[in-house]
Each structure stands twice: as C-alpha cells, then as structure tokens.
Amino acid sequence: MRFSKLWAVIAGDSRLAPIGVAVAVVTMAAVARVAHGAEPWAGVVFVAILIVGLVAGVFEKT
Amino acid sequence: MGGWLLAGTTFLATAVEAVEALTVVLAVGYTRSWRSAISGAGWGIVALLTIVAVLGPAIVTFVPLASLRVAVGVILLLFGLAWLRKAILRSSGRKALHDEDAIYERHVATLAGPVDKGGMDRVGFATSFNAVLLEGLEVAIIVLTVGSAVSDGFLWSGGGAVTAVLVVSGAGYAVRKPFGRVPENAMKFAVGLLLTSFGTLWTGEGLGIPWWHGDLSLLWIVAAFAVASFVTIRFARRPSSFLDRGTS
C-alpha cells in the first residue's frame, strides 16, 4: 500500500489534510457512538489513528 | 487544564513565528529604512491584536462549548500535525533546516535599491507589515483556538503570545541581527507535539470520548505522540526504510 495514499486519507501537511482529519474525526465519532460514549479505549484508538497518519505523512514524497 | 501549559504552548508557537518575522523586519530596516520597518511591524501587530480581540469573545459567546471543542480540536490537529511532521522531517535530515541567516540574505538582496533611509518607504512598510501579519496569522488562530476551549483561556494563551513577542522583539533590538542559532526545529517539535495533543484531547471530548482521569490523559497522549515521533525520526534517518516502499 502506498503510504502517501494512506496519509491522504488520515491527516497531515498535504492538500488533502483537512479531508484526512475530517475522516479521522468522523471515524472516531462512529467509534464513540458504537462504544456508547463510555469506553476509554475509544481515545486510544483515536490517538493510534492519528499516529499512523503522522508516520505515513513523514514518508510521503520522501 | 494547566494555564501555564497553554501559555507555554502559545509562547513557543509565537516565538517561532516572531523569529521568522523579525528576520524580514531586520532586512527591511537595514536595506530600506528603520522607520518603515518598525511602523510596518507595529501595524501588523495591531492588526493581529484586533483579529484576536474581535473574534475571541464572539466565538466564545455564540458557539456552544461541545461544538467549539470539536472545531478547536480539529484546527489544532491540522496545525499540530503539520508542525510535527515538518519537525520530524527536518530532524531526520529529509528536509533542510530553517536557515534564518540565508533567508535574511535573500530578503536583503530582494530589497536592495535606492531609498531614503530616514523617511517612510512604502515597499519597506508593506514588506514588514506583510511579514508580521502573515507569520502572525497562524499564531492568532492558535491563540484563538487554544484560548476559547477553556475558561480564562484567553488570559493564558494571549499572555504567552504577548510575552513571546516582547522577548523576541527585545532580543532583536539588543542583537540587531537574525537569530541564526535559535533551536527553531526543537521549538517547532515541542509546539507540534503540544498542539497535536491538545487537539486530540479536545476533539475527543467534543465527540464524547471519556478520557482516563479527564484532562490528565494529556500526559499519556503527549508521551504517545513523542515516542511515535522519536521512533519515526530514527527510521526516517535510515537511507532506505521499509516504510518508503511504494512511495513516490
């Protein structure tokens, strides 16, 4: 899988970054709803998604 | 949330941008005129303060807190991830470090020409004004977003930013040359880390995610992003990391 594509879907310093962060937020909103807003692991998942996006962004175009 | 942490975040963010703006203001002062350089910078700061003073209370008054936290969090995530990514790329050698001395020389070469050193110079004024306004706009948004997310936030976020402007201006007046030795990338790394962590916490709160021990979760969020960043720098320093496979 191309990391640049993955990055475009998650977050970062690219033209598609706003879309990426929006996708991450909408995903987390869905996770929070599934977890009935009471599961602390939802936060861990959110952080993990953003870290994957950050790492992918570093290897984008390099 | 610790007010000092908010103030520290905006202090560092403002200091980084102020150092970049100061480079341009100094170039204008030495090549065009000090009067136009200082008045341009002064009006740039007035414009930024007006933006914060007008938009800050309006945002807090009219936007519900839950929606505000998601919006603020998303904006901070956008800024924070961008700063952190650039800092990682520079730390790993994949992107050139910001060289204030070289930038200063470029501006001096661009601005050189006949000018009345003692009078008001339009080109110098506009260059100085634009530099302060453009570099400061990002900081104004950070001050606004960080300040609006918590009670008394503007006091802390604005205080941190104003202190940074005073410190950098004072140091610039004393030294009168670009700050080539400021550890700009380390400061950007710290700001990126803090903005990303605040953004994560507040976006999560706005979405209804229950953080362990509330705001104390900021500690492990900062730690998680810091560890991930350092590991990424380590991998990115290798000539050909396995993570590069498939990238253009």
pLDDT, position A62: 47
Position B22 in a domain: yes
**B200 or A13, which is more confident?**
B200
Position B248 in a domain: no
B228–A contact, CB cutoff 8 A: yes
pLDDT, position B117: 58
pLDDT, position A11: 47
Show residues of chain A in contact with B224, CB under 8 Å. Answer: 47, 51
Distance in Å, alpha carbon of A4 to nearest chain B alpha carbon: 6
Position B246 in a domain: no
Residue to test with chain A: of B74, B81, B235, most A Cβ within 10 A: B81
Q: What does the alpha-carbon distance between residue B239 and residue B248 come to, in Å, rounded to a whole number?
A: 15
Position B73 in a domain: yes
Residue B84 burial (C-beta neighbours within 10 Å; 0-12, 13-18, 19+): buried
Position B222 in a domain: yes
**CB neighbours of B54 closer than 8 A, spacing ≥ 6?**
none
pLDDT in tens, B37-57: 999 999 999 998 898 888 888
The boundaries of the domain holding residue B167 are: 3-241
- Put simply, the answer to whether A42 touches B209 (Cβ < 8 Å) is yes
Sign of the Cα torsion B17, B19, B22, B23 reads negative
Count of domains observed in chain B: 1
Position B201 in a domain: yes
pLDDT in tens, B128-168: 999 999 888 888 888 888 888 777 788 888 899 999 999 99
What's the complex ipTM?
0.74
Position B146 in a domain: yes
Residue to test with chain A: of B242, B247, B248, most A Cβ within 10 A: B247
Position B247 in a domain: no
